[in-house]
Amino acid sequence: MNAPLISPSILSADFACLGEEVRAIDAAGCDWIHIDVMDGHYVPNLTIGPGVVKALRPHTDKPFDVHLMVSPVDNWLESFADAGADIITVHPEAGPHIHRTVQAIRALGKKAGVSLNPATPAKMLDYLIEEIDLVLVMSVNPGFGGQSFISSQLRKIEAIRKMIDKTGRDIHLEVDGGVDPATARQCVDAGADVLVAGSATFRGGPDRYAANIAALKGLAEVPA
C-alpha cells in the first residue's frame, strides 16, 4: 500500500496564528494544505475568504487544496485562483452548470475538483470524470469539523476508484471527514490516495504534528 498524501484541514488549526500553523504542518511533512471555505448558506457555517488565502500563500510552497462550500460558486472562482489556490474543488449542487464551472476552473490554470456529499451518488461523475483532476468524497456532512466518519462512503470510494481506473487518467481520489489513523487505512484500502485530516493532524499541538501525519500515512503508530 502506497502512503496517501495528507492534506491537513486548517479548519482545525489555531485561527489566532494561522501563518505559524501552516508553517508548522509544512515542516511536519504534510503534502497539501486543505482550506475549507464556507459561506453560511450552502453549509451552516462561516469560515474564511480569499483575503486569508492570499495572506497564507507566502507561508508555504505546498499546494493549496481549496474546497469551496459556497453557493453560487462561480462568482468566487477567480478570486480564489488569484489568491493562490492550486486546486479548486466545488460541489455539483452549488451552481446550475457544474460542467461549465469545471471548465472555468481549468481556464484559470487551476486543477479542478468535484466534491460529493454523503447522499450524492458516484453516478454524478459519469459525464464529468474526463474533465476533472480530483474527486473529493465527503465522509461527513459538510459544514463542521470533528464529525464521525460515515462508513457507507467506503462503497462510494470503491466505486469511484473503478471509474477513475477506467479512464486511465491521473485523477486524485480524496476523502474528507472523520479521518483518523483507523479510518485512513479503510479509505486507502477502498482506493483513496489523498486524505484530509483536521482534528487528527492538529491534535496535541505543533510538537505532535509530524507524528500525527506519520500515523495517518500508516508509517508510525498513533502517538499516545
Q: Where do the structural domains in the chain lie, given as residue ranges?
A: 5-216
- Summarize the annotated binding site for substrate as residue ranges: 9, 67, 143-146, 176-178, 198-199
CB of 66 closer than 8 Å to CB of 110: no
Q: How many helices (H) and strands (E) does the chain have?
A: 8, 8
* CATH superfamily placement of domain 5-216: Aldolase class I (3.20.20.70)
**Element at 135 (helix H, strand E):** strand 134-138
CB of 101 closer than 8 Å to CB of 74: yes
The residue with cell 451518488 is 121
Helix axes 18-27, 209-216, angle to 10 degrees: 60
The residue with cell 499546494 is 63
- Residues belonging to the active site: 36, 176
Q: What is the mean pLDDT of residues 172-189?
A: 96
Distance of alpha carbon 120 from alpha carbon 125, whole angstroms: 10
Stated pTM of the model? 0.95
Q: What's the confidence (pLDDT) of residue 159?
A: 98
Give me the DSSP letters along 125-159.
Answer: GTTTTTT-SEEEEESS-TT-SSPPP-TTHHHHHHH
pLDDT band, very low/low/confident/very high, at 224 (cuts 50, 70, 90):
low
- Summarize the annotated binding site for a divalent metal cation as residue ranges: 34, 36, 67, 176
pLDDT band, very low/low/confident/very high, at 143 (cuts 50, 70, 90):
confident
Q: What is the mean pLDDT of residues 177-187?
A: 95
HSE-up (13 A, CA, CB side) for residue 210: 6
